[in-house]
Amino acid sequence: MTPEPEGHETDESEDQERLPPSDEDPLTPSEADPESDESAEDQHRVYWADTVADKIEARNPDEPIIVKGGVSPSGVPHIGHLNEIIRGYLVAEVLRERGYEVDQVFTSDDKDRLRGMPRTLASLDWEIVGLGDVDAGALGQNLGKPLTDVPDPFGCCESFGAHQTKLLSKSAEAMGVPIEILSNTELYAEGAFEAVTRELLEQRERAYELLSAYQDKVDESYVPFSPQCSECGHLTETVTGIDLDAGTVDYVCESIEAGNQIIEGCGHEGTATFREGKLPWRFEWPAQWKVLGVDFEPFGKDHAEGSWPSGEEIARELLDSEPPVPMVYEWFTYNGEALSSSSGHILTVRDVLSILEPEVFRYFFTKDPNRARDFDVRRLDQLVDEFDRFESIFFDEVETTDRESALADRAYPMVVEESRDERVRIPYTFAAVLGMTDDENLRETMARRSGHLPDDASVSVIDDALSRVENARNWAVQTDNEYNYRLAETLPEVSVSDPETAALSALAEFIEQENPDGEALQAQIYDCARENDVDVSRFFELGYRLFLDQPDGPRLGPFLAAMNQNFVLERLRRESIEQ
């Protein structure tokens, strides 16, 4: 008998071989054309979370309404795991807004077996390390055991599963999402799955018939339960007897295939209770729906084509329960490649919050979940600009379409801690320019001169506005982009010819007399160079040398226009050297 893949993070390619039609396609919340001139009333709801909430409300659910997500915590939690957490939260907020009591739960499928060695791990402080930096033997010597029976390679938590679950909890907490994390291991131990396990084993022949419509590799010996060997601790697939009255199964601990490897069994023959093992993923998921009373669960497109159709059928035909309202979301990539804990191509919540405000990242999840998107850190300034405009739309500060206005009215209050019309947002790329100096007074001066800080702004508003600078600075450093420079706070020693001195003096005089904006100053740099027979490229390099001690940098005119004028004049006239 071929073992099934486990948990939320599995390769569903085998499941896609034969898919009978489902009575109800998973919900696709917002298929309206955003460019259409139709009103929101003539289309689907303008905000996808409202569409989902309508579906849930139409079922007249009992309270509290249960919104669920889940993951098998075998790899480092990354931003892809936030899909279920944040999208579930946004739907929960809509329902709460409508007066419903809502509980958002997230199952840690930590009873799943450890199937392989991860490439990277994360400490509870989010330090990403390789296996050579921890007790890798704690993992390698325990393949095949439930994650909660694998020692923590960091030695700080009760188990590897507990360590990973703690990281999931910290991710949700950092994003300001209040969820209750439920351990599958604890649910099995306390008997929460005992009744549904009995129901499924009573109907094991029908369970086999149902599953065989989705997976070719199951045979007539299939039993939807994996007992845990009392000798070696492995989860085994070979059940030799079932005693429904006693609530036990007999088993032989045989080798199993996990991923691309064989995990050897110890050969022990024993008996396990329904609490001493677990249901395979295909049955465990609908069992969770029934046990927890789940009303809504979002999930990725892999499950929409595999586990959802079978889970829907199992719930209705074997467990006599109604599946939750589903919602399929597209995955998003990171810098153009799939997020993958196993390969180490990940971005953690902590990584993101070092370069973005939480509300900007929450805004990312308000976008249509049916569209694949790339979280490209190199172009993060575009996402921040989008958010700033989104915020301005909410406060009626920019012209926009009715649709954009309606979306901002609905979604903006759910992504910020509070709506404050006195807030100020410094453009992200300019915040990166301000990050070229650690002098906080100079940062404020530059922000004021550029017009990004109102004269009457309060101290708290100024502090909030300038808090973006550290995020933008981190972004510039991490991506090593055109803003990754440091302001030379003392005048560099630069060799300057007589024509270049004349051009610098002319530029200083223009600034002193005209107080130009960035574009006017950019044009004048060209004029001063040409009028004094100085090579334009050399003149720009000279400017960068004087201010950054580098041969290049950001657009020089806007950069100089933002700074304190006296500082710029002294630097152009090289006064400290001459003294």
pLDDT tens across the length of the chain (579 residues):
333 445 554 333 333 323 333 334 454 444 434 344 444 343 458 999 999 999 999 999 999 999 999 999 999 999 999 999 999 999 999 999 999 999 999 999 999 999 999 889 999 999 999 989 999 889 999 999 999 999 999 999 999 999 999 999 999 999 999 999 999 999 999 999 999 999 999 999 999 999 999 988 888 899 999 999 999 999 999 999 999 999 999 999 999 988 778 999 999 999 999 999 999 999 999 999 999 999 999 999 888 888 999 999 999 999 999 999 999 999 889 999 998 887 788 999 999 999 999 999 999 999 999 999 999 999 999 999 999 999 999 999 999 999 999 999 999 999 999 888 889 999 999 999 899 999 999 899 889 888 899 988 999 999 999 999 999 999 999 999 888 999 988 899 999 999 999 999 999 999 999 999 999 999 999 999 999 999 999 999 999 999 999 999 889 998 898 888 888 998 999 875 443
| This prediction's pTM | 0.86
Nearest residue to 163 (alpha-carbon basis) of 144, 187, 146, 147: 147
Tell me the residue ranges of DSSP E strands in 157-247. 180-183, 226-227, 238-243
DSSP structure class, residue 323: P
Number of Cβ within a 10 Å radius of residue 188: 24
Q: What is the pLDDT of residue 576?
A: 54
Q: What is the pLDDT of residue 8?
A: 54
The backbone torsions φ and ψ at residue 240, rounded to the nearest 5 degrees and listed phi first, read: -105, -10
Q: What is the pLDDT of residue 419?
A: 85
Q: What is the pLDDT of residue 44?
A: 52
Q: Buried b / exposed e across 284-315, counting CB within 10 Å, b at 16+?
A: bbbbbbbbbbbbbbbbbbbbbbbbbbbbbbbb
Longest dimension (CA), the chain: 100
User: Do residues 148 and 189 lie in contact, with contact meaning Cβ atoms separated by under 8 Å?
Assistant: no
Q: What is the pLDDT of residue 567?
A: 85
Q: How far apart are CA 264 and CA 226, in angstroms?
A: 15
Q: How far apart are CA 413 and CA 421, in angstroms?
A: 12
CB-side exposure of 397: number of CA atoms within 13 Å? 12
Site of tokens 């001690």 = 549
